Each structure stands twice: as C-alpha cells, then as structure tokens.
Structure 1
Amino acid sequence: MATITEQLTAEIKSVSEILGATALNIPSYQRPYSWGTRNVDQLVSDIRRFMRAGHYRIGTFILNPQLSEQTRERVGTAGSIMDIVDGQQRFLTFALIIHALSEHSEGIDEDLLVELHLGIDRITIPVRRDGRSERNLRENFVHLKRVISRWSPEELKKFTEFFLKQCSVVVLVVRDLDSAFQMFDSQNTRGRELFPTDLLKAYHLREFGRTNSSRESMLDTVREWEAVPPEEINHVIAGVLFPIKQWTANSSVPRQGFTSNHIGHFKGIREGATGNGQFRWAHPVLMAKATADRFRHENSTLLRHGVVDELEFPFQLTSPIIDGEMFFRMVHHYVGETRRAGVQWAQDEVSLESPSRSDSQLDSVFEILGEQPAGTGNRYVRELFDCLLIAYLDRFGWYEVKSAALALAQYAYLIRVHLQRVQISSVDLHARNVHQRVDDDDGNLFASIARALDPEVILSRPEPRLAEDVTVPQTLLNLYSPATDVRGEEELRS
C-alpha cells in the first residue's frame, strides 16, 4: 500500500515557477473557463494591494499526473504533464496576465519571457461546443490589455516583478485521481452544495493564517464555525446581513439572491494592505479592534474569573469588515443576535413558526406573526421583518425592543395588507419604499435606521393609516387598528 508521502506531495511555488516549469493540462471533465472581467479585476486589484505587504499567497492548485489515454493522444506526449483537478480558473488567468504583460515586454526579463511563453504554450484546453471558455478567455485578455495599458512603465515593472516572484500558490500533487477528487470535494463542498459562505470561509481562513501564526487559535475559530449548521450561517449572511446591506444602500436584492459574485460585500480591511495608513476609512475600525484586543490582554485574569465583562468589539453592518479572524468573530456575533431574536433560518415553506428565542421580550409580537398562514408570500414578508429587526438591533441594541419590533412588523406587513399575492419582487420594492400599492411617506426604513442617532426614529412612528377600502386580514387585526385609522381620516376631512 502506498504511503501518504507517496500519494501526496505539497510545495509552494511562485507564479513564474508554476507557469514556466510545469506543463499542465485542462482535462475534459473540468467545467468551462467561467471567469469574467469582474473576477479578473478583483485578482489584479488584490495583487496590487498586496505589493505593499511584500508577498501574496493566491490559493491552492490540486494536480494529478496520471493522464488518461485520450488526454495523452490529444496533447501528443507521454511526458510529465499533469491534469489540473482544481485551480484552472486562476491558472488560465495567470496565463492571460502574462500574455497581456508581454504586450509591454520592456517590463519583463527576456529570458524569463521566453520561459513563461514556453510554459503557456504547453497549456491544453479542451474544445467545447458552446465556445464558452474561448469567449471568456478572449474577452478577459482584451480587458487585461486595456487595464495594463493605463499603467506607467514603473507601475508595470513593479507589478510584473511582484506577480512573478512574490505571488505564490500551494501546489498539491495527488497521484491517485480518486484521492484528488476527494480532496477537491472536501476542500470545496464537503459533500453538499457549495454555499458562497464556504468561499468566504476559505478566503478569511487564508487571511487569518497569513497574519496569525497560532495554529490553536485557528483551530478554535474553525471549531466555532463548524459548531453552527452551515445552512444557518448561510442564511445569516445571505438571507439577513446581505439584504440589509443592499436595502440600506437603496439597492435591490438580486433575484438569484446572494451568490459568489457578492462575497466582496464581506471582505474589507486586509492587514498590510491598507496603503501605509492612507486609507482613513479603515482607521476607526482598526482602532476599535486595538482597544478591544488590549483590554482582553490586560484583563485576561479578571475576565477568566468573571470579575469584569468582556469588552465586545462594536460590530456594525455599516462599518467595514476586518479580514481574517474578525470576520469569524463578526459571524459569531450575528449568529448570536439572530438566535436571541428568534430569526428563522430553516427555509421551510410549510411552517412559519419561530425557532426558540433566548429573549422573551419579543414573545407578544412573535405570537401575532406566528398566526400567519403558511406560504411563500408570508415567508417573504416574515424575512423582511427579520431583516428590519436585526437592522434595529445592530444600531440600537435591545433598547425598547418590544415597541420597536411592533412598529417594524406594522411596516413590514403592510405589503401583506395591500396585496393578495406577495412575491419576492414585491417585498424588495416595499423594503426600499418604492412599491406603488403601499402608501408610506417616511422613506426607506433601512436607510432611516442606518442614519438615525436616536431610536425614536422607530419608536415614535405612528401606526400606518389605512384607507377605508383596505381590508386587513383576520390574522393581522391584532397588529393594526383599522377602525381608529379610518375614524382619524374622517375627523381630518371634517
């Protein structure tokens, strides 16, 4: 039986080494090259930002040296070519960057340029009927040339040297193909559908490892993350925090929801990449972290014995995120808040019952909401209410939360009062206060909460004034007082 060291080797290679010294093949079982210009821009931006830090680790490649007979026929060699099991998107983008840089070859050593092109020319890509890979490669190459053409000769030289020599990848060579697929599955899906939050986890773990050498602290962080069901983490980020961010900015939530294209919303301040103090937007958050860390360090004994309370970092959705460890602490914070508030995370279309809450202040409001009939429309409205509640808690904590929750529920369920059939697009319009059927003059409530300096913005909101021809569903009568509102309108007319 082969030993682990015979089956798996691992080493760190620079971009110039992986491109120049390794002949790689894109096997036919790989999905097409799907990166767009947005992905390319993000990679180039990351590389340029980390030039200040002196080094940038760009993920992991999983390679397998056992080529199929069909592959050997196609590439026409029996030499040491390897299949890319994982990493083709980045690898091909590396090659595009080299080709684009070659258009300005004064920034690259001539011998190195020849070596790199030799490696790139050995790349084999399967031809697909839809031409998707070829189309994306062509569009990204044209885009890269346009971007690079705007750089000065000095910028070009510095980028080239850093990209080739100081950017690196972890190369795992797995000699058994089944093991390679198992590793790929474990690294990317863990046997289930890949959530965008799994990509965030991988990104922030890499940032954590880059800035923190304590293996134990990283293991603690992973254990804490793994202790929460992945569906719950995904819902907290994708179903609560992301919509709040979108609606606060008066932007729609995309119909497909939170995808890998939106993970940039949960990336932010990278240690060593903040422009030597030039990025002033990062200063308040970094100062708050330094204060919290210093308090924990100076009072570790008192904290351990319960003499003083922990000085919690003041997480705010309107503030930038600190990459790495602080991302995981932030997720833990909001998981705790949503659990305390009873935010539902199981995507169950049949039941709208609230999960158990650790705080009873909201019981009377949730009793009313729990009476709503099952169905996707009511679930969408309930999710809007959950987002409004978390936005309020994020801004003002648990101050007068019962009264606040009642006012937020009255606002959220107006869409249910005015429409017999509620769709996800209806809720999105209502959240931004632009739905034509819902009359409310107070503007975007999410934006109002984010700007508010006093919770009275919510606590002093009058009950919605409903027109005479509006019929409140029986299950919502305890939430509204339509008779009072109509009587008030008659008094105003008289």
Structure 2
Amino acid sequence: MESINNQVLSVSQLLAIKQLAIPDYQRPYRWGAKNISDLFTDLATHRDKSAYRLGSVVFHQHADIGETLDIVDGQQRTLTLMLTVKALIEVLDEESRSVKERATRFQRQDLRQQLAALKVPIHDFMAREHFSSRDSELNLRRNYLELRRLVARPEFDEQQIDFLLNRCQVVCFVLRDISEAFQFFDSQNARGRDLAPHDLLKAFHLREFAEHEASLKAEAVAHWERLPSDELANLFALYLYRVRQWAEGKSARYFGKGEVDLFKGVNLDRVGHFPYVESLRITHHFVDEYNSQYQRKIDGQRMVFPFHLDQMIINGRRFFEMAEYYQKRVAAIVAKESGPVQGQSVTLLGEALTPMACKVLSTLSSYERRHRTGDRYVRAMFDCALIFYIDKFGSQGLSLAIEKCFIWAYRCRIRQQVVQLATMDNYVLEHNLIRAIRDARLPGDLHGFPLPSMSRQENKNNRNGSEDELVGLFREMKYYE
C-alpha cells in the first residue's frame, strides 16, 4: 500500500482504504445529532471552496497483519463520514429504481461511479468491525437513520456530494510503533485531547473570517496567543459565559465544550438579510467605513465596535475584537475594585465614587475571610453584576450600582454557612439582578429591584454571634437589623 503518512486525502480516498480498523482500546462512538448537524452546516457553508479541511486522522500501521491501519485518532469523524457515504449509496440504489428520481438527481456519472467504488470497502469495514459498546451501536444506528434523512433531501444535491467526496479533506499521519501509538492515544485522550473551550472558539472563528480579511488573521491570532491561556479561560468562564447565561435566566455553573455555541453567532457575509441581523450589519460596516476614511489620518480618531455582553456574536474578526475588548475592560474594572484602601477616594471610568462605594470596594479587597471558596463565588457574582452594569450604562449612577451589587451578592454570603457553586447559581436565578440590568432602560430602573433588609437570625456566616466587616457594612447601609 502506498504510504499515506503526512498526506492530504479526500473523503473518497480515505474511505477507499481497505485496511481501516478500529482498535480495541478505542473509546465508544459518541457523536450525536448535534455533531451531525454541525457537519452538514459546514458542508453547506463551505461548499464553494476549492478545498475544506475536516481535521486529521492518525493511524497505527501493523507490519504483521496485512498492513492494517488502526484509527488512533479521528474515529468519530471517520465513522460519521463512512455512515454518510453509506447512506448516500443506499439512497442512490433506491433512486436508481425510480425513473422520475433518476431524472432529477445523480446525473453526473463520475459521482455515481465514485459511490459505487466505495460500496465494497465500506461494506467490508462494517462487516468485520464489531463494536463491543452498546452506546456505539445505538449511536451508529441513530446517526445512520438521521444521515439517510439528510442525504435524501433535495438540497443535498450533486454539488454538495462532489464537495463532500472530493474537496473535503483530512490530513493523515501514520505511526508504525505500537508503543508510540499507545503513547499518542493516552496523551490525546487520558491527558486531555480536547482543546479548552476558548481554543475551540478560536479555531471556529478563524474559519469564519471573510476572505478579504485574511490579512487580519495573523494579527488576531498574535494577540490571542499573547494572552495567558488561564486568563482567557477565566474571561469566558467567570465573566462572559455567566453574564450571558444569567441574563437569560439560565444556569451558568460550568463553561465547557458543550457551551461554546453560546459564542457562535452570525457570519454577516453568509447570513441572509433577515431583519434581526440588519442592525448588526449596519453597525459593522459603518464602523469599518468610519475608520477607513482619510479624515482619521488627520484627526487620529478611531471608533471601536459598540460591543455589549448580551448581544448577538458576529463571527470571525469581530469575535476576536470582542474578546480583546472585554479582556482589557474586565481586567481594568477588577483591578480598580481590588486596589483601594480604607478611606482612599476612588475614580472608576472617570467617575469619582461616593465614600460608601469606596468603602464597599476597600472592604471587599481586605476583609479577612475573602479567600474562602464560597467568598470567591460571591465575589464573582458581584463582579459579573457590576461589569454588566458598566457595560450597559457606563459610569452613570455607578456608586449606587456598586452598593446595590454588594447588597445583592453578599446577602447570599451572610445568609449561608457554606456557599458552593450551586448555591451561587441558584441564588442568582432566584434573585436575578443580572436579568434586571438587562431589562433596565435607565440606571434608575434598578432602584426598584427588591433588596430586603436582613435580621440577626438570618446570619449563618457568623456563627459565634460576632459581626464581621461585611455585616458591619450591611448595618451601616441600613440593610441589617
């Protein structure tokens, strides 16, 4: 067999390999309806490209078993592609028996011949592979039925089929040493094969760049790579994800792979002219037009895209601009919150804060038990609420907002002996100041958000009867009786 190591193969070439096999140590087949939907969305979106990379497939080649190629990495994708082509072949066979259907689809003989040539290797692969996992069998069956429905639809036409078979590609790597194969499998799976959620978003949005913006990709990647991975992870998990979820009244405990779609929006070059998109489209092009005018070379002005934490994401370049914008903004706000000392005046976003707002910030950055896990959860609530308020109203009414956010968040701390992640999440959903900020039209609208006073009997945080700095602030602000 001709070596395929470091080779780029089309889907048709990949599935024509007769030596493919699934090793016993592989994980079960897990792809579901969401993965199938994403695959077909990609096929429809990129069908006009001359080539489209689906990823890589890593094999281990046996020297003593007829050059069998075990799929070490890329099993989910390869099996799904195989099911897709198998479904196509079956649809082709059925439609070949219908003169009417044959007159409208599969007119290209080269595609018919390609599919016919793949029938035997796919059939042989399915016949010799035995999946010990019940989950694998169920998922294979469900996905095959779904794929049959999808490829039978009229919009999955010859152009789509040609794109799938001949222009969708994978990069192949072949390992020849079994110990090397096991080491690779372990490192990619047991030690975290999956990219971090923010890295998955990076890969997605790089593909979403408009063709005329290709030169800007390097700049976007360079800035992204300059940021520590932990800082990016915290930006999305602790702030952006939580604000967007809580603003919708939804739980926001964990930001993982399954939640990245929250940061996938619209590609303005591909989405239709739907009414809901037009405000984004107008703003997008106006900002670019303003910044490109010759007057900017004279006055030195530059307009930043008016991002909002709860707005629809614009895919591609604007996503990277959004991440950079909020990384700087959140870092600046959190740094200001953590900086003041008792009695020191504070200016935030050019706004001189009231003595009480200054006292709140200095207390939060200095009280004795602030480093406990539960206290960090509560501080995250406070930060998210204040960041969202500033994102919407700027510095208008900022001192009062700081006081409101403090009473709202730390009421949870004082009332609970133990604050866990679920405690924080449930509290926000039951007393949702984040959503109230989203719905507010004016800063003053938040004055009506209910913040009842607390009694000594509700204080579960100070079990010995003493009052810490937090309770002292509540009492001073007339929220503790």
For 1:288 and 1:251, locate their aligned partners in 2 and report how far apart those are by CA, in whole Å: 28
Q: Does 1:67 align with 2:61?
A: yes
Structure 1 stretch displaced more, 425-434 or 184-193 = 184-193
- Trace 1:149-298 onto structure 2 (pairs within 5 A): 151=153, 154-157=154-157, 160-161=160-161, 163-165=163-165, 167-173=167-173, 194-208=195-209, 212-214=213-215, 217-254=216-253, 257-275=254-272, 277=273, 279-298=274-293
Structure 1 stretch displaced more, 377-386 or 191-200 = 191-200
Indicate which of 465, 468, 476 corresponds to 1:474: 468
For 1:225 and 1:173, locate their aligned partners in 2 and report how far apart those are by CA, in whole Å: 28
| Cα deviations by residue, 1:378-411 (Å, 9 ceiling, x for unpaired) | 1211111122122212212233333312211211
Indicate which of 141, 145, 149 corresponds to 1:142: 145
Indicate which of 363, 388, 397 corresponds to 1:391: 388
For 1:193 and 1:165, locate their aligned partners in 2 and report how far apart those are by CA, in whole Å: 27
Q: Does 1:378 align with 2:364?
A: no
Q: Which runs of 4+ in 1 moved over 6 A?
A: 175-193
Indicate which of 320, 328, 336 corresponds to 2:328: 336
Residues 379 and 57 from structure 1, CA distance in 2 versus in 1: closer, same or farther, beyond 3 angstroms? Answer: same
Structure 1 stretch displaced more, 370-379 or 460-469 = 460-469
Number of residue pairs aligned between Structure 1 and Structure 2: 442
The 3-state SS of whatever aligns with 1:235 is helix
Residue pair 1:19, 1:120 contacting (<8 A) in 2 also: yes
For 2:295 and 2:228, locate their aligned partners in 1 and report how far apart those are by CA, in whole Å: 30
Indicate which of 435, 453, 460 corresponds to 1:465: 453
Residues 486 and 263 from structure 1, CA distance in 2 versus in 1: closer, same or farther, beyond 3 angstroms? Answer: closer
The 3-state SS of whatever aligns with 1:155 is coil
For 1:212 and 1:188, locate their aligned partners in 2 and report how far apart those are by CA, in whole Å: 35
Indicate which of 33, 39, 44 corresponds to 2:35: 39
TM-score when normalising by structure 1? 0.76
For 1:308 and 1:190, locate their aligned partners in 2 and report how far apart those are by CA, in whole Å: 49
For 1:418 and 1:445, locate their aligned partners in 2 and report how far apart those are by CA, in whole Å: 17
Match of 1:96 in 2: 83
Q: Does 1:408 align with 2:405?
A: yes
Residues 224 and 396 from structure 1, CA distance in 2 versus in 1: closer, same or farther, beyond 3 angstroms? Answer: same
Amino acid at match of 1:92: L
How far does residue 143 in structure 1 lie from its aligned partner after superposition?
A: 3.2
For 2:124 and 2:395, locate their aligned partners in 1 and report how far apart those are by CA, in whole Å: 62
Match of 1:427 in 2: 424
Residue pair 1:20, 1:116 contacting (<8 A) in 2 also: yes
Residues 301 and 486 from structure 1, CA distance in 2 versus in 1: closer, same or farther, beyond 3 angstroms? Answer: closer
Indicate which of 114, 130, 134 corresponds to 1:112: 114
For 1:378 and 1:171, locate their aligned partners in 2 and report how far apart those are by CA, in whole Å: 48
| Cα deviations by residue, 1:29-48 (Å, 9 ceiling, x for unpaired) | 54332212222222223333
Residues 118 and 327 from structure 1, CA distance in 2 versus in 1: closer, same or farther, beyond 3 angstroms? Answer: farther
| Cα deviations by residue, 1:147-176 (Å, 9 ceiling, x for unpaired) | 556x3xx32435753552575124244667
TM-score when normalising by structure 2? 0.78
Residues 271 and 172 from structure 1, CA distance in 2 versus in 1: closer, same or farther, beyond 3 angstroms? Answer: farther
Match of 2:98 in 1: none
Match of 2:318 in 1: 326
Amino acid at match of 1:233: L
The 3-state SS of whatever aligns with 1:269 is coil
How far does residue 121 in structure 1 lie from its aligned partner after superposition?
A: 3.5
Residue pair 2:51, 2:168 contacting (<8 A) in 1 also: yes
For 1:301 and 1:404, locate their aligned partners in 2 and report how far apart those are by CA, in whole Å: 36
The 3-state SS of whatever aligns with 1:481 is helix
For 1:430 and 1:85, locate their aligned partners in 2 and report how far apart those are by CA, in whole Å: 45
User: What is the aligned-residue RMSD (CA, Å)?
Assistant: 3.9
Residue pair 1:268, 1:323 contacting (<8 A) in 2 also: yes
The 3-state SS of whatever aligns with 1:479 is helix
Residue pair 1:211, 1:271 contacting (<8 A) in 2 also: no
Structure 1 stretch displaced more, 235-244 or 465-474 = 465-474
Residue pair 1:50, 1:272 contacting (<8 A) in 2 also: no
How far does residue 417 in structure 1 lie from its aligned partner after superposition?
A: 2.2
The 3-state SS of whatever aligns with 1:309 is coil
| Cα deviations by residue, 1:321-362 (Å, 9 ceiling, x for unpaired) | 122222111111111111011179xxxxxxxx94899x8537
| Cα deviations by residue, 1:209-233 (Å, 9 ceiling, x for unpaired) | 866332xx32222221111110110
Indicate which of 133, 136, 147 corresponds to 1:133: 136
Q: Does 1:417 align with 2:414?
A: yes
Residue pair 1:23, 1:122 contacting (<8 A) in 2 also: no
The 3-state SS of whatever aligns with 2:240 is helix
Structure 1 unaligned segments of length 5 or more: list them.
1-5, 345-352, 435-443, 488-494
How far does residue 142 in structure 1 lie from its aligned partner after superposition?
A: 2.8
Residue pair 1:28, 1:126 contacting (<8 A) in 2 also: no
Q: Does 1:454 align with 2:447?
A: no
Structure 1 stretch displaced more, 170-179 or 307-316 = 170-179
Amino acid at match of 1:198: D
Residue pair 1:60, 1:172 contacting (<8 A) in 2 also: no
For 2:39 and 2:326, locate their aligned partners in 1 and report how far apart those are by CA, in whole Å: 29
Residue pair 2:340, 2:358 contacting (<8 A) in 1 also: no
For 2:145 and 2:288, locate their aligned partners in 1 and report how far apart those are by CA, in whole Å: 46
Amino acid at match of 1:44: F
| Cα deviations by residue, 1:458-477 (Å, 9 ceiling, x for unpaired) | 36757532246333852213
Amino acid at match of 2:75: Q
Residues 31 and 190 from structure 1, CA distance in 2 versus in 1: closer, same or farther, beyond 3 angstroms? Answer: closer
